[in-house]
């Protein structure tokens, strides 16, 4: 890891683990030169970018780092500004650079971090527009132990007139090739993170959200891959956005067969007023290069996000095994029923009980009470503290569900403060799921929620909070913002949410927070900064979860994925799968149950006890080891993946067969990530094999003639 500057040539060479990133100042413009496999530093580098000067110099041909529009480059710009005179023309020219030890924090925004200044370095390039007084600072951070580069931008108005930002991307890069495939994660509610792959072509490929959240439909992630790239081979360039609201990622192929990638806040319905002396900080984009396929890219993201994005006391701790009552009871429960489920869980070895929706206000269904965070006396006559104590007395921790960003029109809070929701005066208020969204751009609204939640967290022995968010933004407006600020509200909402989460997680560091947005509707790096795990999907069917968890793993570590065993027939698709398969899929994440455990048969109790005992033995490996994807569920009726400890002394592989095959050939599963020179013993069979054989030849999978079959293999190095 290092940053070397060749001032005479105007060249900046950034090295991170296994990768280099090179730029050059050309006619005052930062130009992109190279991003890929690590290159050695040179003593006297030559000029990389050779373009004619004078009237023949064309910005449309220059591979730029932060391009503008209106001065000769007709491709998509990284930023756009409207000046006080109504013009939109600025011309940023390089003026200075700075190299900082470590990585500065982004004010009010989530971002990856360095724990010590020796873990990374940051290059800042300062660009100026002489006419307007606009100063733009491009930030590039590299890391000692990661092939990642973190980019963000700070925009300062140092002029004498106010200006308006119309577009402010966090990063732009002109890649000198177009023979690339776009790989991204798409879906919808209950069907998140399905892997999509298609070749780039002339024109633009765009993934985005205009929903006020990162969303179920498209995750804020894009990879550009060589056509021959697979899990273990080929060049892959990853782009991940550390933000939870409206995002925009585009790959534009232009006639000269280069590809411009832009990533940042969605410019749709966005603007930001900058008075003289004010600044705007963009969220962060994290770029990862892999020369060894998608698997290496994913593991780079996993390690970085697990250890230098997630924070707090739970970052490095194993996560508790839980039972959640939602699919067991939905809204219909009593104190006695909750205690029965918690008791059944305690007898199985479960460590945490989570009380889901319906415990507050007059909440008997979706129609009321969001915002009224006081216990429902008809369900909890003894209150939350009494219930939590009864659960704790069983030797089980107590957790609670909230949806703090929402308000029901049928609530005491709404009747007292009808202007506290996002709305436009005189217009219809869209009540999706009979609820509206609190205006988190307002400090008074955030303070109210902070006080209400703090009161509960301070008086009830809560060790876990499930923070839900179940609808997207409509009528995006604020009663307290002026006309010129209304297009800022979606981003101000996110800044307000982050501010509230920072306050709560700082005051209550021992509570494990889990993010949820109808499942994976806000599974993004921004939320992981405050909450180290996310409910991956409301779809708990084991077969559907194979695709959802496989796709999510392209960017996010297993330690971030909530995964539960639920009842059959499954409540989302009606499928009946074995308890063994449901357990094996769920044990490939943060393990738990979401069902009525009191209904287990004796045989099911024994199997559940065995699952819980096993997960306690393997969870540090699953949650903190390196994940290797072995067989894609998108390629057929089977799937497989494995987890390997950092020192490669231990491994665990899971194989899943969705549909049985008649007269099937013997299936061998080739493993990955092992030490090729060491002997491994297979726990299940006693078989001893060298790591190179296990990876080249594989290990046999029993041929079971049944659908929905799973098999696991646990290996340890022997002397």
* CB-based burial, 611-636: b 16+ in 10 Å, e otherwise: bbebbeebbebbbbbbbbbbbbbeee
DSSP state of 60: G
The tokens 């799968």 sit on which residue?
Answer: 577
Number of other residues whose CB lies within 10 A of the CB of residue 696 = 11
Give residue 364's Cα distance to chain centre. Answer: 32
d(CA 14, CA 8): 17
- The DSSP-derived string for 270-302 is --EEE-TT-EEE--EEEEEEESBHHHHHHHHHH
The per-residue DSSP string of 310-369 comes to: S-STTSSSPPPPEEE-HHHHTT---HHHHHHHHHHHHHHT--EEEE-SSSBTT-SSTTS-
Closest CA to 272 of 494, 493, 496, 484: 484
**From CA 474, how far away is CA 218, in angstroms rounded?**
18
Given 129, 156, 468, 524, the catalytic residue: 468
Judged on CB neighbours under 10 Å (0-12, 13-18, 19+), 110 is buried
Would you say 387 and 394 are in contact if contact means Cβ atoms under 8 Å apart? no
Between the alpha carbon of residue 14 and those of residues 32, 116, 441, 676, the distances in Å are 12, 19, 38, 33
Q: Quick check: bond before 601 cis, omega within 30?
A: no
129 is known as an active-site residue: no
Catalytic residue among 181, 538, 541, 626: 538
**What is the C-alpha to C-alpha distance for residues 682 and 651, in angstroms, rounded to an integer?**
10
What is the CB neighbour count within 10 angstroms for residue 704?
Answer: 12
Of the candidates 361, 455, 374, the one whose C-alpha atom is nearest the C-alpha of residue 411 is: 361
CB within 8 Å of 306: residues ≥ 6 apart: 315, 557, 559, 560, 624
C-beta of residue 216 within 8 angstroms of C-beta of residue 275: no
Strand-pair partners of 229: none
Question: Annotated catalytic, 447?
Answer: no
> Which residues, including other chains, have CB under 8 Å from residue 139's CB and lie 6 or more apart?
104, 122, 123, 124, 150, 151, 152, 153, 154
Whole-angstrom distance, CA of residue 419 vs CA of residue 178: 50
d(CA 385, CA 27) in angstroms, rounded, equals: 68
- Secondary structure of 411-423 in the HEC alphabet? CHHHHHCHHHECC
Q: How far is CA 273 from the centre of its chain?
A: 29
- 640: DSSP letter: E
C-alpha to C-alpha distances, 69 to 75, 80, 82, 144, 676, nearest whole angstrom: 8, 7, 12, 36, 53
CA distance 284 to 281: 9
Task: Please list the active-site residues.
Answer: 468, 538
């Amino acid at each position: 890891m290092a940053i070397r500057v060749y001032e005479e040539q105007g060249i900046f060479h950034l090295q991170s683990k296994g990768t280099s990133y090179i730029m050059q100042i050309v006619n005052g413009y930062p130009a992109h030169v190279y991003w890929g496999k690590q290159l050695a530093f040179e003593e006297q580098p030559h000029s990389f970018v050779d373009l004619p000067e004078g009237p023949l110099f064309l910005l449309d041909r220059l591979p730029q780092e932060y391009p503008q529009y209106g001065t000769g480059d007709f491709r998509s710009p990284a930023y756009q500004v409207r000046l006080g005179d109504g013009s939109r023309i600025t011309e940023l020219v390089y003026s200075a650079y700075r190299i900082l030890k470590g990585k500065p924090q982004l004010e009010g925004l989530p971002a990856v971090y360095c724990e010590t200044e020796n873990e990374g370095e940051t290059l800042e390039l300062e660009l100026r527009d002489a006419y307007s007084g606009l100063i733009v600072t491009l930030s590039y951070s590299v890391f000692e132990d990661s092939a990642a580069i973190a980019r963000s931008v700070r925009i300062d108005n140092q002029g004498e007139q106010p200006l308006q930002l119309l577009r402010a991307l966090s990063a732009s890069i002109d890649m000198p090739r177009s023979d690339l495939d776009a790989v991204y994660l798409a879906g919808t509610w209950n069907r998140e993170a399905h892997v999509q792959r298609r070749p780039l072509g002339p024109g633009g490929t765009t993934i985005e959200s205009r929903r006020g959240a990162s969303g179920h439909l498209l995750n804020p992630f894009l990879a550009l891959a060589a056509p021959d790239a697979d899990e273990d081979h080929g060049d892959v360039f990853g782009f991940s956005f550390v933000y939870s609201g409206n995002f925009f990622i585009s790959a534009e192929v232009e006639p000269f067969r280069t590809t411009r990638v832009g990533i940042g806040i969605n410019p749709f319905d966005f603007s930001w007023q900058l008075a003289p002396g004010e600044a705007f900080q963009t969220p962060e984009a994290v770029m990862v290069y892999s020369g060894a396929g998608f698997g290496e890219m994913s593991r780079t993201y996993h390690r970085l996000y697990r250890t230098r994005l997630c924070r707090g006391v739970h970052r490095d701790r194993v996560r508790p095994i839980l039972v959640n009552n939602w699919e067991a009871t939905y809204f219909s429960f009593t104190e006695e029923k909750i205690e029965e489920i918690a008791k059944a869980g305690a007898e199985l070895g479960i460590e945490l009980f989570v009380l889901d929706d319906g415990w507050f206000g007059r909440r008997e269904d979706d129609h009321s009470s969001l915002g009224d965070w006081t216990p429902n006396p008809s369900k909890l006559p003894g209150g939350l503290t009494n219930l939590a104590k009864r659960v704790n007395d069983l030797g089980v921790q107590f957790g609670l569900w909230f949806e703090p960003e929402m308000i029901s029109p049928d609530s005491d809070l709404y009747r007292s403060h009808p202007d506290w929701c996002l709305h436009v005066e005189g217009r219809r208020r869209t009540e999706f799921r009979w609820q509206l969204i609190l205006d988190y751009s307002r400090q008074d609204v955030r303070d109210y929620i902070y006080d209400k939640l703090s009161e509960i967290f301070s008086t009830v022995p809560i060790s876990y909070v499930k923070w839900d968010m179940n609808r997207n933004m409509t009528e995006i407006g604020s009663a307290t913002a002026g006309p010129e600020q209304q297009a800022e509200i979606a981003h101000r909402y996110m800044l307000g949410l982050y501010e509230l989460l920072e306050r709560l997680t700082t005051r209550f560091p021992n509570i494990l927070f889990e993010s949820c947005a109808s499942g994976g509707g806000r599974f993004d790096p921004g939320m992981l900064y405050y909450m180290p795990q996310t409910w991956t999907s409301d779809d708990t069917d084991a077969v559907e979860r194979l695709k959802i968890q496989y796709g999510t793993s392209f960017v996010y570590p297993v330690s971030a994925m909530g995964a539960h065993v639920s009842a059959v027939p499954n409540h989302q698709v009606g499928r009946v799968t074995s308890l063994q398969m449901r357990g094996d899929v769920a044990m490939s994440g943060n393990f738990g149950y979401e069902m009525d455990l009191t209904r287990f048969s004796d045989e099911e109790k024994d199997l559940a006890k065995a699952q819980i005992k096993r997960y306690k033995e393997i969870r540090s490996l699953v949650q903190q080891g390196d994940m290797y994807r072995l067989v894609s569920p998108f390629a057929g009726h089977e799937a497989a993946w494995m987890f390997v400890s950092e020192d490669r002394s231990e491994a665990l592989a899971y194989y899943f067969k969705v549909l049985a095959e008649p007269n099937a050939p013997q299936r061998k599963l080739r493993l990955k990530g092992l030490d090729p020179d060491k002997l491994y013993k297979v726990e299940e069979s006693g078989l001893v094999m060298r790591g190179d054989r296990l990876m080249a030849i594989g290990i046999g999978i029993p041929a079971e003639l049944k659908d929905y079959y799973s098999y696991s293999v646990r290996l340890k190095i022997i002397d």
